[in-house]
Amino acid sequence: MKTLILIAIAGLAAQLVDGGLGMGFGATSTTILILLAGLGPAQASAVVHTAELGTTLVSGFSHWRFGNVDWKVVFKLAVPGAIGAFAGATFLSHISTEAAVPVTAAILTAIGLNLVWRFSRGRVRRVYQEQSYHTGFLGGLGLFGGFVDASGGGGWGPVTTSTLLTLGRTEPRRVVGTVNTAEFLVTAAATLGFAIGMWSDLLDNLAAVLALLIGGSIAAPIAAWLVTHLDPAMLGGIVGTMLVLVNLPNVLGAFGVEGTVVRVLQAAVLVAGVALSVLGYRRAVRNRKREGAVVAEVSLDPTDRESERAEQEPGRKAEHSEQSEPAEHSEYAEGRVR
């Protein structure tokens, strides 16, 4: 019973991270299941993805209610992501993925470092000029993210959220909400793959599934509210720091670095990441105050600009006539004197 309570608390904490930052539920929950419940990597991933059927559904609905979802991107990500997740689940059910972990971790660490650097400059604006993504790009990203997620016990958020945030085409809260909503279909496909290959293991660990589901579902609405109120610069820095923290041990482990050295480096990354996130937030606030008028002008489309000019035109004419009136009176007075 104690183990199940801890798993439920872990599900709550993991969903707060995942719903607020777009990543972390799978990696966090899988790690805890292996440590506390004694499950193997494949069994832990199967349990996590089954529980995520509920948490991703609640999370997606919550993000939709808060206006954080771009439905066009959702389906372009989710369909190929589901294909990749089913393939990854089937693969993990039969073959170990230990050799692929360092490579994936290195990629995600590099993306995380790029995010921290990018958002620490404070050039993130609250007003974004929304730009579309190429369908082929989203398809490839979803396919890769789905495969990594199912075969590694987590990774959908780190792969997709971090990549879309790096491109900077959409406001961070909408990236997080869109990715979390697409994750439901990805999770369903992964669960189907695990059910085909590991049905008996899923039944044996049904209590752990329910504990994760309850904890994660409680946290999902809170996380959706949280991401709506976080500053984009701060959010981007936190996401980058989380990526580096989670993946650094696997990268260092490939070179035989373990134990105290890894923990010291993680602590250094955490301190540096928080400091750079705060620095980026302060710079962003300062830049918004200094360039607010410019950002507002750039965000207007041509029709809005014409309307704004039309509204300002009568005031300009009135101002012009007021300025010219004294001169007319002066000339009139001068004429009468003559």
Per residue in 22-47, pLDDT (tens digit) is 667 887 787 777 767 777 777 888 88
Q: Which residues contact 131 (CB under 8 A, 6 or more apart)?
A: 169, 170
Whether residues 69 and 107 fall in one domain: yes
Q: H helices of the chain, where?
A: 2-21, 25-36, 41-65, 71-92, 101-120, 135-152, 156-167, 172-204, 206-229, 232-253, 260-299, 302-337
Give the burial string for 17-26 (b: 16+ CB within 10 Å, else e). Answer: bbbbbbbbbb
Q: For 227-275, write each residue's pLDDT tens digit.
A: 677 666 777 788 788 878 888 998 899 898 988 999 999 999 999 999 9
Asked if residue 89 and residue 57 are part of one domain, the reply reads yes
| CA pair distance 293, 313, nearest whole angstrom | 19
Query: Has residue 331 got a pLDDT over 50?
Result: no
Q: Residue 44, CB half-sphere, CA atoms under 13 Å: how many?
A: 23
For the purposes of burial, counting CB atoms within 10 Å of the CB of 283, is it exposed (0-12), middle (13-18) or buried (19 or more)?
Answer: middle
Q: Are residues 25 and 89 in the same domain?
A: yes
Interatomic CA distance for residues 25 and 14, integer angstroms: 4
pLDDT at 252: 93
pLDDT of residue 281: 85
| Highest-confidence segment of 59-68, 162-171, 298-307 | 59-68
- Which position has the higher pLDDT, 328 or 122? 122
Q: Are residues 280 and 315 in the same domain?
A: no
Q: Do 217 and 316 lie in a common domain?
A: no
Using pLDDT thresholds of 50, 70 and 90, give the confidence band for residue 82: very high
Task: Answer yes or no: do 78 and 97 share one domain.
Answer: yes
Q: What angle do CA 222, 227, 32 make, to 5 degrees?
A: 60
Interval 276-312: pLDDT, tens: 989 988 888 887 777 654 444 544 455 554 555 555 5
> Is the domain of 270 the same as that of 329?
no
Q: According to the per-residue pLDDT averaged within each range, which of 65-69, 78-82, 316-320 is highest?
A: 78-82
Ranked by mean pLDDT, which of 66-75, 195-204, 281-290 comes out on top? 66-75
Total domains present in the chain: 2
Please, which pLDDT band fits residue 200 given cuts at 50, 70 and 90?
Answer: confident
- Burial of residue 169, with CB atoms counted within 10 A of its CB: 0-12 exposed, 13-18 middle, 19 or more buried: middle
Distances 93 to 155, 219, 263 between C-alpha atoms, Å: 17, 30, 31
pLDDT for position 328: 46
Q: Are residues 204 and 312 in the same domain?
A: no
Whether 170 and 130 have beta carbons less than 8 Å apart is answered as yes
The pLDDT of residue 141 is above 90: yes
Compute the distance between CA of residue 176 and CA of residue 164 in angstroms, rounded to an integer.
9
Same domain for 248 and 179: yes
Mean pLDDT for 154-170 is 83
CA distance 139 to 159: 13
Which span out of 55-64, 66-75, 144-153 was modeled with the highest average pLDDT? 66-75
**pLDDT exceeds cutoff 70 at 337:** no
Residue 28 CA: distances (Å) to CA of 58, 87, 109, 243: 19, 22, 16, 12
User: Tokens representing 182?
Assistant: 């697409």
Query: Do 209 and 262 fall within a single domain?
Result: yes
pLDDT tens-digit readout, 212-239: 888 887 887 887 777 677 666 777 788 7
pLDDT at position 137 is 95
In a shared domain, residues 162 and 280? yes
Print burial letters for 302-311: b (CB count within 10 Å at least 16), e (below 16): eeeeeeeeee
- Averaged confidence pLDDT in the chain: 79
Structure tokens at 171: 């406001």
How sure is the predictor about 135, in pLDDT bands with cuts at 50, 70 and 90? Answer: very high
Question: How far, in Å, are 53, 112, 337 from residue 282 at the CA level?
Answer: 38, 20, 65
Instruction: Identify whether residues 219 and 203 lie together within a single domain.
Output: yes
Domain that holds residue 117: 2-299
